[in-house]
Amino acid sequence: MDRAAFRLILWGCFLFSVSSSPSLRTQNVDVYSFHINSTVTSRYATTTIRSRVANKLNESQEILFEVKIPKNAFISKFRMIIEGTSYDGVVKEKAEAQQQYTQAVSRGQSAGLIKSVGRTLEEFKTSVTVAALSKVTFELTYEELLKRRLGKYELLINAQPMQTVTDFKIEVHIHEKTGISFLEVKGDLSTDDLTNAIKTARADKDAWVTFYPTRDQQTKCKTCGENGLNGDLLITYDVERQNPNGEMTVSNGYFFHSFAPSDVSRIPKNVVFIIDRSGSMHGKKMEQTRLALLKILSDLGENDHFGLITFDSRVDLWKRELLKATQANLEDAKSFVKKIADRGATDINAAVLEGVNMITRHPREGTTSILILLTDGDPTSGETNTEKITGNVKEAIGSKFPLYCLGFGYDVNFDFLTKMSLENNGVARRIYEDSDADLQLQGFYDEVAVPLLTDIQLNYIGVSNLTQTSFNLYFNGSEIVVSGQITDNSVESVTTEIIAISKGSKVTYRDTVTAKDVSDVQAEHDNFLERLWAYLTVKQLLDRQVLLKGPEKEASRKEALNLSLKYQFVTSLTSMVVTKPQENQTEVSDKPKEGESPDRPPAHRPVSHGFTLVGSAGWIPDDPPMVGAHFRPARIDSIQIDDPPSDITDEVWMDIDSTDIWELASVSSTQSAPAIRFLIPADGQPKPLCFDVALPLKLKLLQDFASEFSMNGESMGSTNGFHQIIIRYKTNHQLTINTNSISYYDGQNNVQYLWGQEPTQHSQVGIYLILRSSELDVTMGNIRVVILLHKKNGDVFLWPAIRQQPKGVTLAGILGKADISYAEIQGSNTSTLKIMDKDVMVSLADVTDYRFPFAPVFKCWHVPFKAVMNGDISDFTVTQL
Ligand SMILES: *[C@@H]1O[C@H](CO)[C@@H](O)[C@H](O)[C@H]1NC(C)=O
Ligand SMILES: *[C@@H]1O[C@H](CO)[C@@H](O)[C@H](O)[C@H]1NC(C)=O
Ligand SMILES: *[C@@H]1O[C@H](CO)[C@@H](O)[C@H](O)[C@H]1NC(C)=O
Ligand SMILES: *[C@@H]1O[C@H](CO)[C@@H](O)[C@H](O)[C@H]1NC(C)=O
Ligand SMILES: *[C@@H]1O[C@H](CO)[C@@H](O)[C@H](O)[C@H]1NC(C)=O
Ligand SMILES: *[C@@H]1O[C@H](CO)[C@@H](O)[C@H](O)[C@H]1NC(C)=O
Ligand SMILES: *[C@@H]1O[C@H](CO)[C@@H](O)[C@H](O)[C@H]1NC(C)=O
């Protein structure tokens, strides 16, 4: 067995059944479909990974399912479907699951596992024995509340199907009711050859990202090879915030309140950096720390005061007092930083107490103080009892300001740092030993660089079971979120009140929102707010565990456990038990704890996650926001060309031309002739363009002479799309698609498919066809088209979406123009655009983008056909499909 071909790590004590270790030969296992579907509503992300795998051997073998999910997420569902039977994972209390697992192990069976990998991900892995020539479907769902950091939310999706997959797709839908202010797709899957597999669509409240890489592309990306894609999509976005009092979302008895003002003035801060220079910091770590400090010093605001402490077994101060961040002081501090050298042991206790002392000695009115400790090891000198240290520090700080602890590398006692920072209203963060450690340090500083409010208290009327409502500090770029239940579901409105201190004076934000009209959520996500509330409550209860003792700790643990069980979250208190079909095999999956070292030594960790994405090439999305009125196309009822003889077509169209179609298009009329509306993406412009083509028609949709590809479509009365589409390739190939069936003739044989049948695929040299329930994915040569089957108000129709075409070439046909640029002419009421050096009268219209299965509706500039298509409609019609 060729083990080297797989990036399998040894699973330590969990590799029990060596004899039945999963069969890993790619050639015997076909991952024929791999889909990731992520839905984000009010920052709450639910992601499902679905992988369908076939055993191609004529004997049974074990098939592996291995995926990576964000550490912050809770797995909430796992299912295997084998020969029509579903095997669902069940979330149980850890002890109970462990017992079941121990029994399984005593019978010599294997166990599944979730492992921490790298900085941001954990790996979920399981396997199952699949009979000869049979298939298995794996389905994993996880949920997380995206946190706002440095002014944005990040949704990280890792895709690694272990081989090239014919039917590969990622679909993301984001819905934010206040509007999405920007959206960017980054990550190592959005580079080079893969960017054209990514499509984004935006309306003001919604954004969609789809990723459909071809087989070819799956072997060409930077981080992929023989085994197909292996990388991340990182979708970053932020939301509009019109209401300074925060935004309230209410649905099904739960609410979510987010508060993130940015127009408050910055509070000058007093910051002390306490830097470990013990022997273990030797070399690169010390060097990166110096680099980061130099940069951080340059970023201090001029009204900030700062201090520097370095320590090993001895504690040294740059200056005895905090000094203002003037140019001269900064220069002096920088030369101090450049001389920091490693030596000696680690006296955390003395160093932190000195830092507290420096801050408290001279209180400054209207400022806020922050203590930042950076260390890479256990306390080894002075006071070394961690209990005593945390006690001393807590007493000295007395809740007056926060302490942030940065643990550098894996030799730190992260539990100790976590406890010490949580007890002092801060957080602990791990700094990974890697080439970008200096950037990680700076990134952390940037998050706390601009304090805007202190002592924030949020109050509500008529609610219960609230998550945390008081916060010490609010930093620019972050967000305060509270969720809870509405006590009386019949209440008409919810009142919110936020009291905080801004530069020494009290500020109050009050708001009353109608509970009725704030629920603006699609029916399928009806309970997302309840799950969001449960997620946040469990997270906070688990975080607080280290701060509690005795019965209080136990009560809070029980509550977190109850909710984890109720909502089927895999947390540190629960495990997922999967019973497999063979001999009732059981697997148990636990969530790893932050701070547990990964299996591989740090130097061998993949560097494809988290911070390595900084500075990678960005993707500029289409950007059509919604404004304005509805427009109906002009009435063009003089055109009737039911199968016209080819010699008449031209004449008819010449005629229309002379009646001035430009005028017609700008006349609003409620009665419209049947016409199909097309969308042209406009790169970098606020709205796409759209135009109408009157029915009935036979259209040349796309034609590439070089590769002998053509696609034509016909509509018989539908104003939405096509009833038949025919694709031809080379001399012999013909694919005929109508709304019932699909037939493919390859020159010799004819194959017939039906929409809605079991997913299937067909491949031969240069040609891939994949039929999913309502999508036919067609790759012929270097052109890839997806034909979508849509159903709308009883109308069934087809729509073609070009997923890939030769780069930088405009192909013939109505869809051949990839995009177009235009300028809105200032001064007029923006009903005139400059398109290809011509002034064009336009009007605002709605267009449905049927290139996506969810068919978003956009506002577009409705333009006359001739203004964008470089020709008459007759140039784009055919007499026969
Ligand atoms: C993705 O999830 C959404 C919401 O649950 C659902 O409507 C959609 O059909 C899913 N898409 C796929 C391809 O599974
Ligand atoms: C499996 O296939 C091999 C080679 O094709 C053949 O020799 C063997 O008899 C087959 N086994 C079964 C159980 O059909
Ligand atoms: C907060 O951040 C936003 C966005 O980066 C910026 O526009 C704003 O000026 C910042 N506010 C303060 C007080 O620095
Ligand atoms: C929520 O609060 C109510 C009291 O208002 C309580 O009866 C209920 O049990 C709580 N629910 C949960 C899940 O904690
Ligand atoms: C947890 O649930 C159990 C049974 O469902 C119940 O007896 C117990 O009171 C609950 N505990 C808490 C803290 O809600
Ligand atoms: C599997 O579990 C079922 C139900 O618990 C039991 O009836 C059956 O005997 C078990 N089979 C084996 C092989 O242990
Ligand atoms: C705005 O457009 C309308 C036609 O849609 C026109 O009648 C009006 O004069 C225009 N106003 C200005 C200021 O250009």
CA nearest ligand 7 atom 6, residue: 829
Q: Residue 552: pLDDT above 80?
A: yes
DSSP state of 391: H
CA nearest ligand 6 atom 7, residue: 584
CB 35 less than 6 A from any atom of ligand 1? yes
- For residues 462 and 246, give the distance between their C-alpha atoms in angstroms, rounded to a whole number: 18
Query: What amino acid occupies position 597?
Result: S
CA nearest ligand 2 atom 6, residue: 58
**Minimal CA–CA distance to 236: which of 177, 151, 141?**
151
Phi, psi of 545 (to 5 degrees): -50, -45
Whether 351 and 272 have beta carbons less than 8 Å apart is answered as: no
In a mutational test of the pocket of ligand 7, which residue from 667, 828, 829, 842 has the highest number of ligand atoms less than 8 Å from its CB? 829
- For residues 387 and 767, give the distance between their C-alpha atoms in angstroms, rounded to a whole number: 67
Give the predicted TM-score (pTM) of the model: 0.72
- Find where tokens 């999305």 sit: 621
CB 131 less than 6 A from any atom of ligand 2? no
Give the Cβ contact number of residue 523 at 10 Å. 5
Whether 636 and 673 have beta carbons less than 8 Å apart is answered as: yes
Of the chain, the percentage scoring pLDDT greater than 90 comes to: 39
| pLDDT confidence bin for 207, thresholds 50/70/90 | very high
Q: Residue 379: pLDDT above 70?
A: yes
CB 764 less than 6 A from any atom of ligand 7? no
Give the ligand with the smallest distance to the CA of 772: 1
Q: Residue 326: pLDDT above 90?
A: yes
Q: Residue 157: pLDDT above 90?
A: yes
485 vs 871, residue with greater confidence: 485
Phi, psi of 148 (to 5 degrees): -85, 125
**For residue 262, how far is its CA from the centre of ligand 3 (angstroms)?**
5
pLDDT, the chain, mean: 80
518 vs 616, residue with greater confidence: 518
| Six-digit token string for 576 | 């997922």
Range in 33-47, 428-442, 661-675 with the lowest mean pLDDT? 661-675
- Find where tokens 């949920």 sit: 143
- For residues 641 and 660, give the distance between their C-alpha atoms in angstroms, rounded to a whole number: 19
Whether 623 and 684 have beta carbons less than 8 Å apart is answered as: yes
CB 465 less than 6 A from any atom of ligand 4? yes
Element (H, E) at 544: helix 528-544
Q: Residue 101: pLDDT above 80?
A: no
| Six-digit token string for 744 | 């493919």
Phi, psi of 797 (to 5 degrees): -150, 170
Residues with CB under 6 A from ligand 3: 151, 262, 265-266, 450, 452, 476-477
Q: Residue 637: pLDDT above 60?
A: no
Taking the CA of residue 37 as reference, the ligand 1 atom at the shortest distance is: 1
| Six-digit token string for 725 | 């589409």
Whether 64 and 37 have beta carbons less than 8 Å apart is answered as: no
Give the ligand with the smallest distance to the CA of 268: 3
CB 106 less than 6 A from any atom of ligand 2? no
**For residue 585, how far is its CA from the centre of ligand 6 (angstroms)?**
10
In a mutational test of the pocket of ligand 5, which residue from 541, 562, 565 has the highest number of ligand atoms less than 8 Å from its CB? 562
Q: Is 55 helix (H, G, I), strand (E, B) or coil?
A: strand
- For residues 721 and 791, give the distance between their C-alpha atoms in angstroms, rounded to a whole number: 10
Give the Cβ contact number of residue 336 at 10 Å. 17
- For residues 155 and 517, give the distance between their C-alpha atoms in angstroms, rounded to a whole number: 28
Taking the CA of residue 132 as reference, the ligand 2 atom at the shortest distance is: 13
- For residues 110 and 716, give the distance between their C-alpha atoms in angstroms, rounded to a whole number: 59
The pLDDT score that the predictor gives to residue 7 is: 23
